[in-house]
Amino acid sequence: MAARSTSKAVIPLLKTSDSGFEKAFAKLLNRREDGQEGVEKTVRRIVDRVRKSGDAELRALTKKFDGASLDEFEVDRAEFEEAGETIDPADRAALGKAAMRVREFHRKRISSSWEIREEGGGTFGTRVRPLHRVGIYVPGGKAVYPSSVIMNAVPASVVEVPEIVMVSPPGPDGKLRPEVLMAAKVAGVHRVFKVGGAQAVAALAYGTETIPRVDKIVGPGNAYVAAAKKMVFGQVDIDSEAGPTEVLVIADRTATPAWLAADLISQAEHDELAQAILITPLKSVATRTQDQVGKQLNTLERAKIAKKSLSTRGAVILAKDMAECIRLANEYASEHLVIASDDAEKISKEITNAGAIFLGHYTPVAVGDYLAGPNHVLPTGGSARFFSPLGVEDFLKRTSVTRFEPPKLRELGLDIIRLAEMEGLTGHGKSVDLRLQKIRRARREREAAREAELEL
C-alpha cells in the first residue's frame, strides 16, 4: 500500500513513488456513491405516489420527513415581508451584491438567434428562446444555502424565463429561513413552495393541484433528491447529476500551508462525503499542511463533519514534480481546482478538466461560492471531463430554421436523393423528387411561354 503519514494527521498522506499509489488514487477517483439500490426503490415509491395523489401525498410526506403540517405550500406575501423585516440589513445588502455580480457575469454569455442567407434562396439559422417554466431545488437540512438560490435562479432570470419556481424543505414550524426567502427575492424567483426531498422533485416534474409542472429542474440536494432528478429525466430536463462537493489544490513552494489547510477544510465541512485533496511536489508543504489541518479543525463549528470527510475521503498527495501534479489533477477532473502558485496562470493553461479554476494565493473557493460572478453549480464526481458549470445556456432552447426556395432545391436536390438512396430511404428521396418535378415543369412552361412570345 502507499505510504501514509506516521503521525496522527487527520488527512492521510500518499506518495506517488510508492507501489500502492495507483490503487489508492483509483479509490479517490471512484468517489460516486455506491449502494443506491435502496435509495432508488424508496424514491420510486415517492415519485409514483406524488404523481398519483398530488398535494395530499406532499402533505403527508412533508409531515413525515420535515415535521411540518402545512395547509398551503406556497409562500405568501406576508411571509416574504416577515423575512425582509427579520433579516439583518447587512445580510440583505450582501445577498443583493452577490445577485448583482452573478447577474452581470451571466449577462455576458447570452446566446442570440441568428440567420444566414445563401444565393439561390437558402436560409438557415437558429432561434433561441428561454424555457417556459423552470424549477429550482434549494436544500435544507444540515445547512442553509441562500447562495444556491442565487446561483441557480439568476441565470434563468437573466434570460427572462417567464416563471421561475423554487422549492425548499420547511422547518418544523412550516417556514423557510428568511435568508433563503430574501435570496429568492433578489434572484428573481417568481413563486416559492415549502416542500423538499424527492417529493418536491416529483411535484415539479409532474405537477400537482398547487405546484406547476416545469420544463427543467436544477439545484443540488441529497442522495434522494439526486435519484429523483435522475428518475424524472426525460419527463423534464435536469442539470448535471450532482454529487458531494470536492476540491483539489495544486501547491508549490510559494504556497502558505495554513491557507491550503483552510481551503481543504472549507469543502470538507459541507458533508462527510465531501472530498478534499492537496497535490504538491514538496514534502515540507505536504506535512505542514497536514499539521495545519489538525490545528484549524479545533476551532471549527462543523469539525466533526470535516474530520470525517478528510480522514476517510481526503488525501495529501506528494508528487515527484509539477508535471505530475497537473497530470493527476486532469485525471481527477475536480469540481473546484485551486492553483496556489505564483505561476498559477501558466499552470492553468495545462488544465483540461475542471469545473472551476481559482488562480493564485488570494482566490479561495469561497469567493466563487458567493459573489465572484461565475456560477458555483459545477460538475462533480469526475464529470468535469464532459459537463460545464450552470449558465444561461441551461435555461435556453434552440430551434433550427431552414428554408429552401426552388433554385436552392434544384441545386442540391439530386445530391439529397442520392444520399437518401444510400441509406435505403427512398421515401425521403421521393419527397424531394416530386418537388423537383414540379420545378422542372414550371421551368419548361416558362420557357415555352417565352418562345411563344418570341414567335408573336
Q: Name the residues annotated as catalytic.
A: 335-336
CB atoms within 10 A of CB 172: 10
Report DSSP state, residue 242: P
Q: Is 278 helix (H, G, I), strand (E, B) or coil?
A: strand
CA separation for the pair 448, 73 (Å, rounded): 74
Burial of 456 (0-12, 13-18, 19+ CB in 10 A): exposed
Pairing of strands 315-318, 334-340: unpaired
> DSSP states of 7-31 as a string?
S--SS-EEETTSTTHHHHHHHHH--
- In 3D space, the residue among 22, 52, 394, 412 whose CA is nearest the CA of residue 240 turns out to be 394
SS3 396: strand
- For 280, counting Cβ atoms within 10 Å of its Cβ (0-12 exposed, 13-18 middle, 19+ buried), the class is buried
Q: In 31-145, which ranges are continuous DSSP H helix? A: 37-53, 55-66, 77-86, 89-107
Return d(Cα 383, Cα 362) in angstroms, integer: 27
C-alpha cell at position 335: 469540481
Q: Which residues contact 315 (CB under 8 A, 6 or more apart)?
A: 11, 12, 13, 14, 24, 28, 277, 278
Handedness of CA 66, 72, 73, 75 (dihedral sign): negative
